[in-house]
Amino acid sequence: MLRVEPLLIENYVAAGTVNLRFNHVLDHGGASERASAASECAGQQDPYSFWTMHNHLFANISSLFSANVDTYVGYADSLGLDTEAFGSCMADPAVLDKIRAQHAYRTNELNIRRRPAFLINDSIYQGGLPFDAFERAIAEAMN
Amino acid sequence: MDDFLPERQTSGKPGTQVSVWRAKFAFLLAVLLCTALIAVGCGTVPAPVAEPEDDPAVPEAAAAEQEGEAAADREPAAEEAAVPAESSEPAEAAEVAEADPEPASEPAPDEVVAEDPPDWTTHAFVDGGYYVLGNPEAEVSILDAGDFL
């Protein structure tokens, strides 16, 4: 999705025919939880900030394994977010509950075991997909 | 006539005075009637001109050939009576002229149509606990089940 997502945004989201949502997967324990919590806490301040943080996290993916809360507060600061509110959010157990629930939904409800995986309307696609595969899947979903 | 009036005016008898007043009254009535007839006449005199109304093409063509718009200025009453079609044309033109400003004053719908579409790439909202990027009414929704790491 990392390489394909900009093309989806440019060709489909911009046209208003497709929207994107992100379901947290926590395959790397606490590191995954902190990264996901950071995106959620950005989203609490502004829904679009979820996506700016989402892009920022993927851009700094190599740093995330060792990142702590201060690292994410620094990210929030660089994105112009309220760092005090962001820090409080990162300590909120409700945020952790939410991202864990999404992980459970992916595993238990959608029965997805591979990563990445995509739910395009009602159809599940597991594994990485090239852009033309997304094009076909989107066309099928629109018919 | 010259002899008749002085006689009545100088008469001192009551009956004669009554007849003088009757004469004055009759004169006034006659004047009023004449005035009324003249006034009515002004309105009805063109009627004979309007008689060809049964065949309006004749006066229309004649008016157009001879005087055009100038005739309309000189004989508006006659034209109204004789050529109702022509008199209605200016009215229609006036209506159009009045209607012209309306489209000019209705740029609002055009502006709405001309408005740029929303930038869905920066539009996000919350739905079912998810932060969704794009058009809420999009036909297709892609859920990315992924890990940031």
Asked whether the beta carbons of residue B118 and residue A16 sit closer than 8 angstroms, the reply is yes
Name the pLDDT band for B9 (thresholds 50, 70, 90): very low
> Does residue B116 belong to the interface with chain A, where contact is any CB pair within 8 Å?
no
Sort strands A123-126 and A117-120 into parallel, antiparallel or unpaired: antiparallel
Q: Which of A76, A90, A101, A91 is nearest to A26 (CA)?
A: A101
pLDDT along chain A (143 residues), means of 10: 90 98 96 98 98 96 96 98 98 98 93 91 93 97 93
Identity of the highest mean pLDDT range in B7-11, B20-24, B60-64: B20-24
User: pLDDT tens digits, residue range B117-142?
Assistant: 899 999 999 999 999 999 999 999 99
> Does residue B52 belong to the interface with chain A, where contact is any CB pair within 8 Å?
no
> Does residue B98 belong to the interface with chain A, where contact is any CB pair within 8 Å?
no
Name the pLDDT band for B116 (thresholds 50, 70, 90): confident
Q: What is the pLDDT of residue A92?
A: 98
> Does the predicted TM-score (pTM) go above 0.90?
no
Q: What is the pLDDT of residue A98?
A: 98
Higher pLDDT, B109 or A68: A68
- The DSSP H or E segment spanning B134 is strand B130-134
ipTM of the modeled complex: 0.96
Asked whether the beta carbons of residue B138 and residue A43 sit closer than 8 angstroms, the reply is no
Q: What is the pLDDT of residue A76?
A: 98
* Min Cα–Cα distance to chain A from B109, Å: 22
* Min Cα–Cα distance to chain B from A92, Å: 16
CA pair distance A24, A26, nearest whole angstrom: 6
- Beta-carbon neighbour count of residue A124 at 10 Å? 13
With CA atoms as reference, the chain B residue closest to A113 would be: B145
